[in-house]
């Protein structure tokens, strides 16, 4: 396995391979634990997504 094929698990940081069935997680446990955090709203999207056809907030403001 090449070094570029090895990544850190998004949840626990253990090494995982791109071909892993649970990628980007190392195991089903980490995958489900991460999903649980989303469901409990431990993770949140910081800004609302722009409406379709609308520019993101940082691009629509004039440069100073």
Give the total number of structural domains in the chain: 1
Here the tokens at position 27 are 């195991």
- Residue 34: inside a domain, yes or no? yes
Examine residue 21 and state whether it is found in any structural domain, yes or no: yes
Q: What is the pLDDT of residues 9-32, one digit of tens each?
A: 989 999 999 889 999 999 999 999
CB neighbours of residue 38 within 10 Å: 10
Residue-range definition of the domain harbouring residue 26: 10-39
In-domain check, residue 29: yes
Is residue 33 situated within a structural domain? yes
pTM here is: 0.60
pLDDT of the residue at 9: 94
| Residue with tokens 């991460």, as numbered in its chain | 34
Residue 14 lies in a domain: yes
> Rounded mean pLDDT of the chain?
82
pLDDT of residue 37: 92
Q: For the chain, give me the number of helices (H) and strands (E)?
A: 2, 2
Rounded to whole angstroms, the Cα distance separating 19 from 40 reads: 29
């Amino acid at each position: 396995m090449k070094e570029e094929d090895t990544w850190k698990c998004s949840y626990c940081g253990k090494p995982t391979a791109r071909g892993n069935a649970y990628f980007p997680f190392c195991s089903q446990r980490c995958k489900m634990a991460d999903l649980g955090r989303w469901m409990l709203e431990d993770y949140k999207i910081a800004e609302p997504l722009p409406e379709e056809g609308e520019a993101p907030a940082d691009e629509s403001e004039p440069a100073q």
